[in-house]
Structure 1
Amino acid sequence: MVMFIKKLWLTFWRPAAKISLGVLTLGGFISGVIFWGGFNTALEVTNTEKFCISCHSMRDTVYPELQGTIHWENNAGIRATCPDCHVPHNWTDKIARKMQASKEVFGAIVGTIDTPEKFEAKRLELAQHEWERFAANKSLECKSCHSYDSMKWDEMSPRAQVQMKQAAAKDQSCIDCHKGIAHHLPANMDSSGGMVSELAAIAQNTNYEQGNTYYSMQFIPMFEDKEKTQNGGSLEPASGVKVVAIEDDMLQIEISGWRKEKGFGRVINQDFGMNIPTAALSKTAAQNKDIVKGTTEKEDDVTGLKWQQVTATLWVKKAKFVSDVNDIWSVAQSAYKTNCSVCHTQPAENHFDANTWPGMFNGMLAFVNFDTDSEAIVLKYLQNHSSDFAKDKH
């Protein structure tokens, strides 16, 4: 053993062509330290917010969006910077992320997203890459600050408690439910007005003819008279009506459906026994026998309530109708599949019956950005494609 050590020592210090192996090794060690220090310094420089927003496509888009959120300014005085959320904290994953980011740097150099228009066109693709990464590591960067174990359940709202406790039990990724919390959602996911705007463009080409059926694209005020002096109630979105008469910019429409005899019978539903509202009449209109005419009466075996089949004749303005209900179902289906898959895989439309869907749908509204018209359209779509109407049961 002593001889081996002695031989190793001699080998180590044996002169090379000009300098000893020991000096070479020592020099290599020092060079390695300098290289590592330089590499680590460069790594840290690229891991700062200043570096992130040195690219104007970031500085002028997502950075201002971050500044309008609680992650930027809050009561605790804690600020989450770009690398806090978008760069893994452990070294190996950090290096892997830096390698991936080289593609983004190349895209900035060649001008892939060098204008706001180009960036918006790519926003969904860029967002999906990050969502996939967060899903794979269960939002590890988020959990460096937010811990399920540290949450005060009693201070949450009842709905938040239920959702968060379920998420904690599965160690769920935060981004599954909290997309759009720091930056704007892609345009086709920010559905507060896009759906209605698309239908409004279609409605501009609607030609009205007496005797034809048309479908409302949003809530529409109704009147007892064509002069619009007497309130008649409100027509629900995605409701079919028959045009009885046309007077200038006003339509006299006939609404057919069923109403419950209990109370004033103000809500006209699409079908017997199904809570799919077509119109909500004013109290005076609901009690006016010249406006509402009843025919068949029937008792619901499930609830024991008596229903009456009716037609109601009222006046509305010409705009805001489309001639094909499939135009409405098309945008509603797209909005449902896009927005309601944010937190989980959405149920098939025929998974529930028409009367169950409202309760299920209302439970999901806290996690999407629907306006009132859009909510009603998507719910009406789900009810009309529920197990009550589907050829194939779920």
Structure 2
Amino acid sequence: MRIILSIFFFITCMWSKNIVYSDEVVSLYLSQDDTKVVGRLLPTNSFEILKEQGNKVYVKIQGFVNPKAPFVIYYNNTQRIIVAAFSKNTKLNFSKKDMTKDDKWDRVSLEIWAEKKKFFKNDKEMLSRAKELFVNNCGICHALHKEKEFNANAWPAVFRSMVDRTAIEKKDHWLVIEYLQKNSKDFKAN
């Protein structure tokens, strides 16, 4: 029985995905040895670590691409909630590209190298921290806006227009923006 349980545990570990999140922007590279950053993965978005080598990790990012702007991967196929953004001249080799039902944006999967950072198994703690930053800083000059007051596409501009008057560090700007977008009045989970 012990042998069967050991085998079952081993097989489960082999097949389980290493899905993680980052609470900060992560630099992306076309190859393991590259020093030139070609893109950025934004906080609170899940990704899968496929392998680790040195100071980089090989990851799989999934999302949606607007065919008119193939250098941005979005969280869903209707809103501009960015998962990852790349230099416009970057040749991206999507390993999976499926048309969505409404043929608006394509569902994609991309395997790419990323800088190794502290990653998290879930996004609860980082979203809680983002909410705390928002609540403690964004109601100083005026009444605090409710997360559902604006739609997902409006929140980045609203936030950027006021963030310089807050104590929110630059490294946390995208964390708060992603939190606001994913709690907006029209947010659609993918």
Which band: TM-score by shorter chain?
Answer: 0.7 to 0.9
CA distance in 2, matches of 1:228, 1:213: 24
- Is the CA contact (8 Å cut-off) linking 1:236 and 1:278 kept in structure 2? yes
5+ residue gaps, structure 1: 1-208, 301-305
Per-residue deviation, residues 167-205 of structure 1 (Å, max 9, x unmatched): xxxxxxxxxxxxxxxxxxxxxxxxxxxxxxxxxxxxxxx
* Residue 166 of structure 2 corresponds to residue 368 of structure 1: yes
Shift of the 283–210 alpha-carbon distance from structure 1 to 2, 3 Å rule, reads farther
1:328 corresponds to which of 126, 130, 136: 126
TM-score (norm 1): 0.41
* Residue 49 of structure 2 corresponds to residue 251 of structure 1: no
* Residue 53 of structure 2 corresponds to residue 271 of structure 1: no
CA distance in 2, matches of 1:334, 1:219: 19
Q: 1:48-59 residue pairs with structure 2 within 5 A?
A: none
Indicate the residue corresponding to 1:219 in structure 2. Answer: 25
Q: 1:67-106 residue pairs with structure 2 within 5 A?
A: none
- Is the CA contact (8 Å cut-off) linking 2:95 and 2:110 kept in structure 1? yes
In structure 1, the residue corresponding to 2:177 is in which secondary structure?
Answer: helix
Shift of the 315–365 alpha-carbon distance from structure 1 to 2, 3 Å rule, reads same
CA RMSD, aligned part only? 2.4
CA distance in 2, matches of 1:250, 1:375: 24
Percent identity between the two aligned chains: 28
In structure 1, the residue corresponding to 2:21 is in which secondary structure?
Answer: strand
Indicate the residue corresponding to 1:31 in structure 2. Answer: none
Shift of the 266–314 alpha-carbon distance from structure 1 to 2, 3 Å rule, reads same
Shift of the 299–262 alpha-carbon distance from structure 1 to 2, 3 Å rule, reads farther
Per-residue deviation, residues 39-86 of structure 1 (Å, max 9, x unmatched): xxxxxxxxxxxxxxxxxxxxxxxxxxxxxxxxxxxxxxxxxxxxxxxx
1:356 corresponds to which of 150, 154, 172: 154
Q: 1:253-332 residue pairs with structure 2 within 5 A?
A: 253-263=59-69, 265-285=70-90, 287-289=91-93, 291=94, 293-297=96-100, 306-332=104-130
CA distance in 1, matches of 2:35, 2:173: 29
* Larger RCO, structures 1/2 (Cα 8 Å, 6+ apart): 2
Which amino acid is 2:186 matched to? D
Give 1:299 shift.
5.2
CA distance in 1, matches of 2:157, 2:82: 14
Q: How many residues align?
A: 174
Per-residue deviation, residues 210-242 of structure 1 (Å, max 9, x unmatched): 722111121211111122356431111222111
Give 1:317 shift.
2.6
Shift of the 365–230 alpha-carbon distance from structure 1 to 2, 3 Å rule, reads closer
CA distance in 2, matches of 1:340, 1:231: 32
